[in-house]
Structure 1
Amino acid sequence: MPKVLIADDLSTAAVEIFRNHGIETDIRVGLTKDELIEIIPEFDGLAVRSACKPDADVIAAASKLKVIGRAGIGVDNIDIKAATAKGVVVMNTPFGNAVTTAEHAIAMMFAAARQIPAADAGTQAGKWPKKNFVGTEVSYKTLGLIGCGNIGARVAERAKGLLMKVVAFDPFLTEERAVELGVEKVDLDHLLSRADVITLHTPLTDQTRNILSKEALEQTKKGVIVINCARGGLVDEAAVRELLESGHIQAAAFDVFAEEPAKENVLFGAPNFVATPHLGASTVEAQENVALQVAEQMSDYLLTGAVTNALNMPSVTADEAPRLKPFIDLAEKLGQFAGQISDHGFEEVVIEYEGDLADMNRKPITAAALAGLLRASRGDVNMVSAPAILADSGVKFSESVTEDSPVYDSLIRIKVLVPKTANSDQAGWRSLAGTVSAGRPRVVEVKEMPLEGDFSPVMLYVNNLDKPGFIGSLGVMLGEANVNIATFHLGRQAEGGEAIALIGIDGEPAADVTQKIDSLPHVRYAKVLHF
């Protein structure tokens, strides 16, 4: 009989789901790391929220563990890389608390605009401080959304109901989806200069980290209100403190912080600052929904092998898995490739299948490709949530199937349309193709240029002009930067024309390496990729 450790508070109904499936449960909330390491070898499953932190040490000790289920969206508390290496499936519940988080953002906006917490404290202290609290109306003001996905769209709906004008910055929001939501799509600079209230609803990724930097905050209107109910690390907290004290920021309300639990923070005690302890998903309805969902998902996996909402494993049946697995791996890597080189988002996605893939169940392969594509910018995207997230963004998507493949038994091609507002050298269609050879995924085409190469954990992608001396200059530069080359693959359109270099390297290069490569003659684009 499988055995599940419930290490954070789940509802009684969720515990009953496990037991009704015949799964033994042990509820131990508030364990220290050492206590968790001591008992984790007994369990096949681990159910958590955000307090329990199964890191690499915990996972290393988990000799029987097959699945970790997160009742909620964010998986910052779980070491997914360690879990994947150990063969542990990590599941989350991506849609269970969107409404709750959106409502909390609206509540925080009102609390900041009307200084409700401070007014409450003064009133209950017997001071009757009426003259000290002159608030701000939100009706007819401009709300700036940074991120207009599943949660951001719900915030927009509620803000429109408050008669606010909504502007949104999201590279993956199409004009059609913006019109449908009744919001105006803008770039970040326009949002900063126009918004009376700014609220963030984006995951924490390399592209969004510190998106509201000190420089960005200084571009905002005097008297702006800043709301963060998304993720700590999106905003420069010290800069917010400074601008609150100067009066440039009228008020701020944060539910999340760079370091949690936030027992101390530079913002605490700042004027007109409202704080809550990561309550965005903390309603009875949301807690119940995600707890029931994670219990069902974990039970299904432990008893039947069915995988749902997994972040590190495709959703396939046991019968399909052996045949589909290498193609799912290929599709995800091609998607990751495309996502990492689409710095300005994309307006359309096309996936083409050729050869033997015409007769396979392509749905999980497509889902894996979209998950890889979106993960670079959206963070915690899995195979189940990826198609819905893409659809909600309004990005056009299509598939085509050809029974014959001119060169390979099977081939997957991913094409993304980069918007014309992006760098003119990089706008337009980008195309990547790959195949499976000897059970391993290989990239065989980049921007319609043929090449053949394996995927490496860290790769350097360079788009250049085919001119003498480029390869030598690049090799010297990498050598001087102490970057060891593991593999080197080249492709070109024609002699002297556009060319591609795809280089597997041993380890993460220094941050300035790509800048130096960009400065080489004939280089159009360079980026470090991770797979």
Structure 2
Amino acid sequence: MPRVLVSDKLSPTAVQIFKDRGVEVDYLPDLGKDKDALLARIGDYDGLAIRSATKVTEKLIAAATNLKVIGRAGIGVDNVDIPAASRRGIIVMNTPFGNSITTAEHAVALMFALARQIPEANASTHAGKWEKNRFMGVEITSKTLGVIGCGNIGSIVATRGVGLKMHVVAYDPFLSEERAEELGVAKVELNELFARADFITLHTPLTDKTRNIIDAAAISKMKDGVRIINCARGGLVVEKDLIAALKSGKVAGAGIDVFETEPATENELFGMENVVTTPHLGASTTEAQENVALQIAEQMADYLIKGAVSNAINMPSITAEEAPRLKPFVKLAEVLGAFVGQVTEEPIKSVEILFDGSTTTMNTRALISAALAGLIRPQVSDVNMVSAPIMVKERGIIVAEVKRDKSGVFDGYIKLTVTTEKQTRSIAGTCFSDHKPRFIQIKGINLDAEVGQHMLYTTNPDAPGIIGLLGTICGRNEVNIANFQLGRDRPGGNAIALLYLDTPFPENVLAELRAHKLIDSAKPLHFDVNGG
């Protein structure tokens, strides 16, 4: 039974979901605040469910020897060292949709609060003053709303802006013209957004490209009297530049829910009359807190029990519905990669993965990850589908994907081609109705070979005596042959043999086999046919 640690406060219903799905769970909501105690216990768990209090550092990940999945109940994963988790093959999940509406509504609320100076007017009225003339607001109708980042949350804010009869412009490199038209917004470049917007709201993750996206240079391109709202991430706005612009009047107001340093107990923004601040409340509604907790419990349980992957940061998603159909082809892709990885001794420059026929409709990203894991496992034993793409990239290997309509007798197959400085090597395979992987082509030579745990692969000229030679050597050394497949490119040309053995081929016999005039090369192979 898989075991999960919940180290931050999470809904009791979420804890019950783990139990109902067959996952053992330890609910220790204060453990995430105690780094040493968490470090001492993390090695016992397959999964770690967190919110924002737990910091999943490289040191913690190194101690998490059994950890398979980290689940963040919420959208932000700033508190997780994703590269370190990926290198260790640990899936990192979040819940990008659970608090989208809540965060979007908070941004809109801040926009209204800024437009009508509601917090200051409220404080003044509570103090017994009647400063009607002091709090002159502005209308939102017909103003231009600039949305930076038009993903899950940004698109909701955009549609709310359209509903408020605002003109909405959006900057997002991944926003298509079709999606912009569907939302009713104008897609623009960032500088045009700065020039046009009366209100600017940020809804982008914090990355190297978005960090400090609002700085003094950006503010100088904006309208005088612009109002800026940030409910996304601290670090998107350079606070000292914003403060200067607020003091000068260039920026008329700011609604800030997130800060460069959190918890933010001291900040020069505090106390400024034209600033509305909240303590990172974007996701703080009863509905959102419950939703993200339930979602992360369901996602983690589905992965640990069924192998389904949802909303992973560092792994292609695999739905619970497609997992049974995909599983044999994941194994196929892995053994194809493992074959090439074991027979290729020189550095690999590039990999091409061809999907033919029915395999083109599958989750090819997951299949590519599996193939890459098999490919580099002979050199890096602890690699998996999560860490493989990163390791391949670090080695400078170029990966290409090709999809093709059905072109042969098989409904669908996968072909892996690897290029080195000296040669190009390819292998193709498919799965039949028994869901077992089979090799159907090696080096352009057709054959039909069942994949076994222990195999022997030879290349040789097409000449009489190969079957007898291999059979004699195996028999003399008490190596039983479970299956024997031959193939050739033409009569008298190049040929291959693939033997499925009951036991590993003895290393001391390889020299004898390789020295024979009928054998060009011989390579013992090992495949993890039962794992994964």
Normalising by structure 2, report the TM-score: 0.63
Query: What is the number of residues matched between the two proteins?
Result: 367
Select between 95-104 and 172-181 the one with higher mean Cα deviation. 172-181
Shift of residue 399, structure 1, vs aligned partner: 9.1
Change (3 A) 1:124 1:171: same
Mapped partners of 1:368, 1:283: distance in 2: 39
CA contact (8 A) 2:336 2:427 kept: no
Give the AA of the match of 1:107: A
Mapped partners of 1:88, 1:306: distance in 2: 14
CA contact (8 A) 1:355 1:403 kept: no
Change (3 A) 1:172 1:65: closer
Shift of residue 220, structure 1, vs aligned partner: 0.9
Of residues 382, 406, 410, the one that matches 2:415 is 410
Give the AA of the match of 1:401: R
Shift of residue 366, structure 1, vs aligned partner: 4.5
Trace 1:47-446 onto structure 2 (pairs within 5 A).
47-316=49-318, 317=323, 318-325=327-334, 355=354, 357-360=356-359, 362-366=361-365, 401-403=404-406, 410=415
Give the AA of the match of 2:143: K
CA contact (8 A) 1:97 1:290 kept: yes
Could you say which residue in structure 1 is the equivalent of 2:16?
16
Shift of residue 357, structure 1, vs aligned partner: 4.0
Trace 1:472-511 onto structure 2 (pairs within 5 A).
none
* SS of corresponding position for 2:108: helix
Mapped partners of 2:118, 2:193: distance in 1: 26
Change (3 A) 1:438 1:94: farther
Give the AA of the match of 1:204: L
Mapped partners of 1:87, 1:180: distance in 2: 38
Give the AA of the match of 1:199: T
CA contact (8 A) 2:333 2:414 kept: no
Shift of residue 126, structure 1, vs aligned partner: 3.0
Shift of residue 69, structure 1, vs aligned partner: 0.7
CA contact (8 A) 2:227 2:251 kept: yes
Shift of residue 64, structure 1, vs aligned partner: 2.3
Shift of residue 280, structure 1, vs aligned partner: 1.3
Mapped partners of 2:172, 2:111: distance in 1: 20
Give the AA of the match of 1:157: T
CA contact (8 A) 1:328 1:368 kept: no
Q: Summarize deviations over 1:336-362 as a string: whole Å, max 9, x none.
A: xxxxxxxxxxxxxxxxx9755435365
Unaligned ranges ≥5, structure 2:
339-351, 370-384, 387-400, 418-423, 429-532
Give the AA of the match of 2:362: K
Shift of residue 327, structure 1, vs aligned partner: 9.2
Mapped partners of 1:100, 1:91: distance in 2: 20
Select between 154-163 and 277-286 the one with higher mean Cα deviation. 277-286
Unaligned ranges ≥5, structure 1:
330-352, 371-381, 384-397, 413-434, 440-531
Shift of residue 438, structure 1, vs aligned partner: 8.7
* SS of corresponding position for 1:131: coil
Mapped partners of 2:130, 2:335: distance in 1: 68
Mapped partners of 1:107, 1:25: distance in 2: 38
Shift of residue 56, structure 1, vs aligned partner: 0.9
Give the AA of the match of 1:33: K
CA contact (8 A) 2:353 2:402 kept: no
Shift of residue 276, structure 1, vs aligned partner: 1.3
Identity rate, percent:
55
Change (3 A) 1:320 1:369: closer
Shift of residue 437, structure 1, vs aligned partner: 6.3
* SS of corresponding position for 1:360: helix
Shift of residue 215, structure 1, vs aligned partner: 0.6
Where does structure 1 differ by over 6 angstroms across 4 or more consecutive aligned residues?
326-329, 367-370, 435-439
Mapped partners of 2:83, 2:334: distance in 1: 19
Shift of residue 323, structure 1, vs aligned partner: 2.5
Mapped partners of 1:363, 1:260: distance in 2: 43
Mapped partners of 2:133, 2:426: distance in 1: 74
Mapped partners of 2:367, 2:305: distance in 1: 24
CA contact (8 A) 1:328 1:365 kept: no
Could you say which residue in structure 1 is the equivalent of 2:2?
2
Normalising by structure 1, report the TM-score: 0.63
